[in-house]
Amino acid sequence: MSVSFQVLGQPGRDNALYVKVDTGQAQTRLLLDCGDGCPHQLGPSELREIDHLCFSHLHMDHVAGFDLFFRLNFDRIGKPNRIWVPLGGGEVIHHRFRGFTWNLVDDRQRGEWLVSEIGSGWVRSARYLAREGFRTAHAEPERTRHDHALFDGDGFTVEAVLLDHGTPSAGYIVREHPRVNVDTARLVAIGLTPGPWVRRLRGLPAAPGETVTVNGVEHPLGPLQVELLTTTPGDSIAYLTDFRMTPPTCDALAEALCGVGIVVCESQYRAADVALADAAMHSTSAEVARMATKAKIGRLILIHISDRYDATARRELLAEAQAIFANTSLPEGWE
């Protein structure tokens, strides 16, 4: 299994993140934000395969590319249409749905969209139907969410961290499930032959007294799992944008992101422009780098950089962050 990603957009322009989780048997695609021009980089065939569209918030530079995505998928029935937004974003998405004339739709349209608002400890969802021209928000039962958990996918989980941009904003963490592998050298050493039983070995923990048959001989499953299985953390990637990095926010993010492999994070301003960051509810290069250091992440990628900075200033912004957290870079092609 692997988690791959692509930063969409250009420096000084709208940005988004495309994440693909590949289990070897299935692929799940997530689009995090939908700024102007960002979905166009993926192309129609890839956009038709997006499983989840996760918005940080609904400012124009994060939703301006939504019309293309919606046009391609408004009546999609091959897979669920899922949108995730912070508190208050459901109303905006409903207006986006209704921003077209739907006089030609009827019962032949079967597309359904589930839009979920993320709150502190809860998720509220509404279902919209293409055959109704998306007129009505059909409320779904509210559900409770624990800690940062948002939803489970095929071989991964997605968490949401609530942030403050003067309006609710959401950061997302994609975590691949831990990888369970068989120690083949040990398997050979104890004289067991691989076979169909290995699938059960790698499955759920053994029930009391459960056995597996290997070459006609029964063996207790529990001790074999202890002796033969090794577990390693899966890949992980986080997307954080449009928020003010206050000390309490830094502490909360350091806890939520602890050990994450890659963090793609806004760095709207240089350290010297902290007054601008305060006024616009954004973060600076130094603040983001200090958070990365505190969280002990693997790699930091800076995005959503202000268009006030030219290429030289962007390199200086990057250097500021690298002086605090060495493994910091800009997206491929930005330098």
The answer to whether residue 294 sits within a structural domain is: no
User: Starting from the edge strand earliest in sequence, which strands make up the sheet with 328-329, in order?
Assistant: 149-153, 156-164, 168-176, 236-240, 262-266, 299-303, 328-329
Residues 81 and 225 in one domain: no
Residues 9 and 154 in one domain: yes
Residues 94 and 134 in one domain: yes
Catalytic residues, which ones?
61
Per-residue pLDDT tens digits for 106-129: 999 999 999 999 999 999 999 999
Residues 73 and 191 in one domain: no
Per-residue pLDDT tens digits for 62-115: 999 999 999 999 999 999 999 999 999 999 999 999 999 999 999 999 999 999
Residues 180 and 229: beta-carbon distance below 8 Å: yes
Residues 71 and 26 in one domain: yes
Residues 198 and 114 in one domain: no
Residues 54 and 189 in one domain: no
Q: Which residues have C-beta within 8 Å of that of residue 13, sequence separation ≥ 6?
A: 35, 36, 37, 307
pLDDT of residue 1: 53
Percentage with pLDDT > 90 across the chain: 88
* Total tally of structural domains belonging to the chain: 2
Residues 219 and 117 in one domain: no
The whole-angstrom separation of Cα 34 and Cα 329 is 22
The answer to whether residue 112 sits within a structural domain is: yes
The answer to whether residue 272 sits within a structural domain is: no
The answer to whether residue 309 sits within a structural domain is: no
The answer to whether residue 133 sits within a structural domain is: yes
pLDDT of residue 233: 86
Residues 90 and 121: beta-carbon distance below 8 Å: no
pLDDT of residue 218: 92
The whole-angstrom separation of Cα 238 and Cα 259 is 11
Residue 15: CATH number of its domain: 3.60.15.10
Residues 263 and 238: beta-carbon distance below 8 Å: yes
What is the model's pTM?
0.90
Residues 57 and 242: beta-carbon distance below 8 Å: yes
The answer to whether residue 253 sits within a structural domain is: no
The whole-angstrom separation of Cα 85 and Cα 97 is 14
Looking at the predicted structure, is the pLDDT value of residue 257 above 70? yes
The answer to whether residue 255 sits within a structural domain is: no
Residues 169 and 220 in one domain: no
Domain final residue pick, 126, 158, 173: 173
The answer to whether residue 191 sits within a structural domain is: yes
Three-state DSSP at 235 gives: coil
pLDDT of residue 94: 98
Per-residue pLDDT tens digits for 142-180: 999 998 999 999 999 999 999 999 999 999 999 999 888
Task: Show the DSSP H helices in the chain as ranges.
Answer: 44-47, 60-63, 66-73, 89-97, 184-189, 197-201, 221-228, 247-256, 274-280, 285-295, 311-322
Residues 153 and 204 in one domain: no
User: Which structural domain range is residue 127 located in?
Assistant: 1-173
Looking at the predicted structure, is the pLDDT value of residue 307 above 70? yes
Residues 49 and 166 in one domain: yes
Looking at the predicted structure, is the pLDDT value of residue 39 above 80? yes
Task: Pick left, alpha or beta for residue 71 (phi over 0 → left; psi -120 to 50 → alpha; otherwise beta).
Answer: alpha
Q: Which residue type does 268 have?
A: Q
Residues 167 and 192 in one domain: no
